[in-house]
Structure 1
Amino acid sequence: MNTNETWRKELKNKRLTYGLSQNKLALASGITRSYISDIETGKVMPTLKLKETLNSALERFNPDNPLEMLFDYVRIRFPTDKVDHVIEHILRINIDYMLHEDFAFYGYQEHFRFGDIVVMISYDITKGTLLELKGKGCRQFESFLLAQHRSWFDFFKICLEENAVFKRLDLAINDKVGILDIPELTRKCKQEECISVFRSFKNYRSGELVHRDEKVDMGNTLYIGSLKSEVYFCIYEKDYEQYAKNAIPIEEAAIKNRFEIRLKNDRAIHAVQDLLAFNDAEKTAFDIINRYLRFVDKDETKRRTDWETNERWKWFIGKDRGALRLTTEPEPYSFERTLNWLRHQVAPTLKVAKLLDTLNKTDIVDELIREARLNERHEKIVEQQSYSTEDVIL
């Protein structure tokens, strides 16, 4: 068996072992599903560069890598009121495909939206134009970046060239196997086994209200540092969050815990500059973590500053584990979130109405749907769902 044939078989075997579809691998690699199929069946043989791209993309989904990093929140202010320049030159999205609405947040008055990619504009030109990508927005923007053959680093570089101001940047570290024990970390905080420059920590359990802008129903959540400061950490049980939001059984959750580094204003700008200077997300992330906190094991025979770093924490921050790379999870804009809401909040009531229709020999539910009128916003959403990523990007 020649080298190319061996590589081709290993690629397919790994893809199947990792439980990865051809479509998802194709999206992560920036090529078509049919081309992946042709590679696996031996109809074509990719170039050396594409082989490297496929290998790299495949390893992002390696279930044996217990930690992964990704951007989970990005908010950037551009010093211009020319929203079309931001959308078409910087984001490289055709503005004609975006939904425009006459409301916004953070003191802005209008916004353009494609799924969870939101660009806000203000009547006050000194406020400029604001881009906000929450978790879903980051995943959707990654699908555009892939199709544009760009990375986050390419995008951030253009933002700095445009004199943009980074208002917030969240870097998330996903723990797939439960390396982080949040109740244990909370206990260590209470027992002064967390050596940190932060003066505060707060622990919340499932169902407690954390903050009006924060998540609830997340299992155990530990905040280290003040939510008002320019840097703080949020560590929470991601599997409980997915159970509460999407009814995914806890034992089936792909991610057990999440460690989020939340940076604002100057801290966010410094992190981006560091990312671009070293092109090493692991270095940037753990330099921040190690600067601000260390979990230790109490030893009454020594001064607190000399207590040994906890072994589990040592592994998390890098001892005897493989290198941690920045990953992407490109996710094209879909109607799935709305369907989930319909499934959990509306479907039971709709089922009752249908049963009553049957009992009363009426046709009220179907009549309501027939008579419903779609406004411009609804029509734009339907229109957006009909486009492919390639249609939308510039």
Structure 2
Amino acid sequence: MQYGVSQTKLAVMAGISREHLSRIESGKVAVTEEMKVKLLEALEKFNPEAPLTMLFDYVRIRFPTLDIGHIIKDILQLNIQYMIHEDFGHYSYTEHYYIGDIFVYTSPDEEKGVLLELKGKGCRQFESYLLAQERSWYDFLMDALVDGGVMKRLDLAINDHTGMLDIPELTEKCRNEECVSVFRSFKSYASGELVKHEEQDKAGMGYTLYIGSLKSEVYFCGLSTLFQTNFFRLFFRYCTGV
């Protein structure tokens, strides 16, 4: 493979068997257009020129206003008539509007104002709206700041598609005091420990590493998934509460 990817890794990423991929490469099996797309998409994830991708994974912004219509229309640039209204809320808010996983909360309390919350799926959905609006995350966040919005929590996720970030290795470096950081503490967790009976079971475990106190406004979180052993995610979190 041009990216130095093994048949097994590419086959797993494309959702086919290694034997089937081998037959495709040797010309023994005709390749459909759908399979070509799958293989190209899978191969691109191993692209050494772009092994890391960054995205917003959580956004929470509070606006000093009770005019929820203004926030939805002028900041989100969405149509409130297409949103569902519920007469209850979270975080002590009394009502909210939502479309998909995009939530906007409000209450009569002027100190609370209007709260926008985008979780992981909400961020992905809002990216589609931004694309249609010909805006970027930068444009949106600048509009929010100009309108007096206060960033209460931002999660930036860096996805490692090629295994550059080895969480167990990073954890070991932290334990050996080889990690150079302004943060003073770290914590690590391994999932599946209760069912880890054999040495080979370790390969199926997930690992999480926190650098910095979870009580501080800023900390990093690195994790590897149980089922995608070559996929890792590093979080940068800024949080000042609701």
- For normalisation by structure 2, the TM-score amounts to 0.73
Corresponding residue of 1:260: 235
CA contact (8 A) 2:46 2:162 kept: no
Once the two structures are superposed, the pairs formed by residues 13-52 of structure 1 within 5 Å of their partners are: 16=37, 18-19=40-41
The 1-side partners of 2:163 and 2:100 are apart by 32
CA contact (8 A) 1:218 1:236 kept: no
- Following superposition, which runs of at least 4 residues in structure 1 exceed 4 angstroms of deviation? none
**Which of the residues 116, 134, 142 maps onto 1:149?**
134
Q: Comparing both structures, which one devotes a greater share of its residues to helix?
A: 1
Corresponding residue of 2:209: 222
The 2-side partners of 1:229 and 1:107 are apart by 23
The 2-side partners of 1:133 and 1:126 are apart by 21
SS in 2 for 1:113: strand
Query: Is residue 231 of structure 1 aligned with residue 206 of structure 2?
Result: no
**Which of the residues 68, 77, 81 maps onto 1:96?**
81
| CA deviation profile, 1:113-132 (whole Å, cap 9, x unmatched) | 11110101122122110001
Once the two structures are superposed, the pairs formed by residues 134-213 of structure 1 within 5 Å of their partners are: 134-206=119-191
- For normalisation by structure 1, the TM-score amounts to 0.46
Number of residues paired by the alignment?
A: 193
Which ranges of structure 1 fall in alignment gaps of 5 or more residues?
Answer: 1-11, 21-60, 209-216, 244-249, 267-394
CA contact (8 A) 2:45 2:162 kept: no
Corresponding residue of 1:69: 54
Provide the alpha-carbon RMSD of the alignment.
2.4
SS in 1 for 2:180: strand
Which ranges of structure 2 fall in alignment gaps of 5 or more residues?
Answer: 1-32, 194-203
| CA deviation profile, 1:335-356 (whole Å, cap 9, x unmatched) | xxxxxxxxxxxxxxxxxxxxxx
Once the two structures are superposed, the pairs formed by residues 1-394 of structure 1 within 5 Å of their partners are: 16=37, 18-19=40-41, 63-64=46-47, 65-206=50-191, 219-237=206-224, 239-240=225-226, 243=227, 250=228, 256-265=231-240
CA contact (8 A) 2:104 2:116 kept: yes
Corresponding residue of 1:290: none
Deviation at 1:207, TM superposition (A): 5.1
**Rg comparison, structure with higher value:** 1
Deviation at 1:218, TM superposition (A): 8.0
1:207–1:136 distance in 2 versus 1, CA, 3 Å: farther
| CA deviation profile, 1:235-267 (whole Å, cap 9, x unmatched) | 001x32xx4xxxxxx36xxx700011101249x
The 1-side partners of 2:100 and 2:172 are apart by 40
CA contact (8 A) 1:117 1:137 kept: yes
CA contact (8 A) 1:174 1:258 kept: yes
Q: Using the aligned pairs only, state the percent identity.
A: 59
SS in 2 for 1:203: strand
The 2-side partners of 1:218 and 1:173 are apart by 20
Deviation at 1:103, TM superposition (A): 2.3
The 1-side partners of 2:79 and 2:106 are apart by 17
Amino acid at match of 1:148: Q
SS in 2 for 1:68: strand
Q: Comparing both structures, which one devotes a greater share of its residues to strand?
A: 2
Amino acid at match of 1:164: G
The 2-side partners of 1:182 and 1:62 are apart by 19
1:218–1:62 distance in 2 versus 1, CA, 3 Å: closer
